[in-house]
Each structure stands twice: as structure tokens, then as C-alpha cells.
Amino acid sequence: MSKKTMTILFAVFVALVGIFFIQKYFGQPSRKPASLSELKLEFDPQAVQYIQVFKQDYPDSGIYFARRDTGWVIVNEHNTAAKKEEVQKIFDDLQAVTGTVRGESEDLYGDFEIGERNALQIKFLGADNSQLLHIYVGKGGPDGHTCFVRLPASPRVFLANQNFISRFAAWAAPPEKRLPTDRWLNLRVSPMKSQDLAAFKLHTPKVDYEFVQETVPPVDSGAAPTKIWKQVSPTKGDILEENKIKSLQSAVGNLNAQGVANPDYATGFGLEKPQYSVTVNDTIGNSGLVVFSDKIDTLEQRYVLLKGQPTVYRINKGVFERIFVTPFEKPKEPKKPAGK
């Protein structure tokens, strides 16, 4: 092979290599590093012991969660248990959240409602109050399913694919207005679900009513046994039919409060020696006692305690009457036509 041919081949090789690198590095659109152009939050969920959510300059407006051995509680709602699934969703959404940059100047904070004085803040803290995560949340995005967020010490604003303003019901709310806790409170009072009840007892000022679930052998030897509810006490007076006992069983097993109260306010309303209470039992020996206070206001609300638990619940008149009044009401006679 001549020297001239070798020179030509070498030149072609160099040209091809050059084209390869040009296409590799300049043929693709330029992108910023993901850490600069995309939102990604990193934290260890197991290390989080406290969650704080509040409006800037108004910490008393917030919701404060704390991890306990029994689960999450809402500290500023008298340490009432929080709904586990709702708290878990906070973690899930923050771990999965993504977003792209929509602004990189503090001058735009007003447009995003994400300044120091009006943003919603979410903080995750460790056992020693060390800060594990801190984000500022501005207004909701244009589609209703997103919101603007930023991280401390950075002017960069992202449009996140989650709406945390909606999650905490903080839209268009004055910063001093307390964030609602209804969504987060576990207001279930009954210690057992309806389907788990094997017996229950109602204590009233005049009489105690006891109901048990019995297994009835089948008439046909090939059929399965059935379970029925019976009233075992009293045996005279108001005797409920099974359909009414089943309705009462449902009301007892699904007893939920409408709110919680400061335990200091519950003294003096008869919870120490209650006139009304419900005792529940299941098939494996577990039991629970729910006690009801006297009327606490003109709306006839009452305080309720599940014995052994610190939370004082508040129920309305309708919930109370579904257990202690409605089942024992006599059927109303149909009105007679006028003139007869």
C-alpha cells in the first residue's frame, strides 16, 4: 500500500471519529443536571419523628404530628390518634413528588404566593429535632392537581405534581386561620367493629340491656349453622326484635365521634359515674367500655371516653340517640283520616 493511500485512509478515519464525537456531544439537546431542573426530595421516612405543617409567621395555625409507639398522634389536638393511612400518604406523596422549574428569582415569589410570609411550610424532624426535610408550598397550579414549591436557601420555584395546598385545606385561607384537622383525626370510638361483636350491654339510668349472638343448629343436617342476636336481659318490658338488635349492633360497632375535647373540660359532666355506657365483647375474650357524659350544651352534645384511653371525644345528639333512644321507641300509629 502506498504512502499516499495510507494518508488518505488515516484522514478518513480521523474524519469519521470527529463526526462520531460531534453527534454524541452536540447532536442531543442540552439539558441541565436533574438536581437543578427537576424537583426530587430525599429523606428517610423511618427517621421522621415529627411533622410540622403551618403558615409562615403563624405557627399556632399549624398541625403538628408526633410518632408514638402506638402510631401517629396530633399533638395540638390533645394527642389524639391520627389516621395512619392519611399520614402515610404524606410520606408517599413527598417521596414520589416530581416537578420542573418555573422560576428562578425571588422577584417572582409574589406570583407564586411562596414568599416567607404567605407560604405553607412542611417540615420533617428527627428524634433530636434535627431537620430532615423542609419545603415551602405556594399556590395551587392551573390544573388544580399541582402546586408550586421551593426549598430553603434557593430562589428556584418548581411546579410539583402534587397539590399539598389542597391536601391540608389551605387554599385561600388567611395565614392566621388554623388549618383544619378533621381529615387527620381518628374519631373512631368503638374498640371493636360490628362484625367482631359477640355480645354487648347498654347501661341506662333505669335498666341495663344485654344482647348476645347465638349459634343456631340448622334444621337440615346438610346446612351450615346460623347466628342470631337475642336479648337476654331484661326479659320483661322493652324486648327488641332481632332486626332492631342488628341495627343497634351496627350503631355500637361503628360509633364515631364528631370531634375531640380538652380533657380538662370533661370534668364535672358525669364521666366518673356515667348514667350511660356501652360494654362490648368479642368471641376471644376481648372487651371494652365506652362511657357517655351528661349533656354538655344546649345542642345536647356529650363527651365520650373509651376506658383506658386518654382521648375525650365529642358526639352529637343524633349519635347518642341512635344507641340509647331510637331502638326503644314505640312504632308510631298511622294517623287516622280526618272526620273518622
Examine residue 259 and state whether it is found in any structural domain, yes or no.
yes
Examine residue 101 and state whether it is found in any structural domain, yes or no.
yes
CA dihedral 42, 47, 53, 58 (to 10 degrees): -110
Q: Which residue has the cell 399549624?
A: 62
**Residues in the chain with pLDDT values less than 50:** 9-10, 12, 14, 17, 19-36
Q: What is the pLDDT of residue 204?
A: 97
| 204 and 246 in a common domain | yes
| 160 and 87 in a common domain | yes
What is the per-residue DSSP string for 247-284? Answer: HHHHHHHT-B-SEEE-GGGGTTSSSSS-SEEEEEEETT
The domain containing residue 47 runs over which residues?
Answer: 37-167
| 128 and 74 in a common domain | yes
CB within 8 Å of 74: residues ≥ 6 apart: 63, 64, 65, 80, 81, 82, 181, 184, 185
Of 167, 202, 237, which residue constitutes the final position of a domain?
A: 167
User: Rounded CA gap, 74 and 314, in Å?
Assistant: 16
| 229 and 159 in a common domain | no
| 200 and 161 in a common domain | no
| 288 and 207 in a common domain | yes
Angle at 285 between CA 283 and CA 289, to 5 degrees: 105
Q: What is the pLDDT of residue 34?
A: 39
| 199 and 283 in a common domain | yes
Of 167, 182, 205, which residue constitutes the final position of a domain?
A: 167
| 143 and 88 in a common domain | yes
Examine residue 53 and state whether it is found in any structural domain, yes or no.
yes
Examine residue 336 and state whether it is found in any structural domain, yes or no.
no
Domain count, the chain: 2
What DSSP character marks residue 142? T
What DSSP character marks residue 79? T
pTM of the shown model: 0.78
What DSSP character marks residue 177? S
Read off the C-alpha cell for 44: 428517610
Examine residue 286 and state whether it is found in any structural domain, yes or no.
yes
**Residue-averaged pLDDT of the chain:** 86
Give me the count of residues in the chain.
340
Examine residue 18 and state whether it is found in any structural domain, yes or no.
no
| 77 and 203 in a common domain | no
CB within 8 Å of 338: residues ≥ 6 apart: none
- Grouping H, G, I as helix, E, B as strand and the rest as coil, residue 201 is strand
Examine residue 52 and state whether it is found in any structural domain, yes or no.
yes
**Residue 11, phi then psi, degrees to nearest 5:** -65, -40
Examine residue 311 and state whether it is found in any structural domain, yes or no.
yes
Of 167, 184, 218, which residue constitutes the final position of a domain?
A: 167
CB within 8 Å of 312: residues ≥ 6 apart: 78, 260, 261, 262, 263, 265, 266, 303, 304, 305
| 238 and 140 in a common domain | no
| 202 and 316 in a common domain | yes
| 198 and 149 in a common domain | no
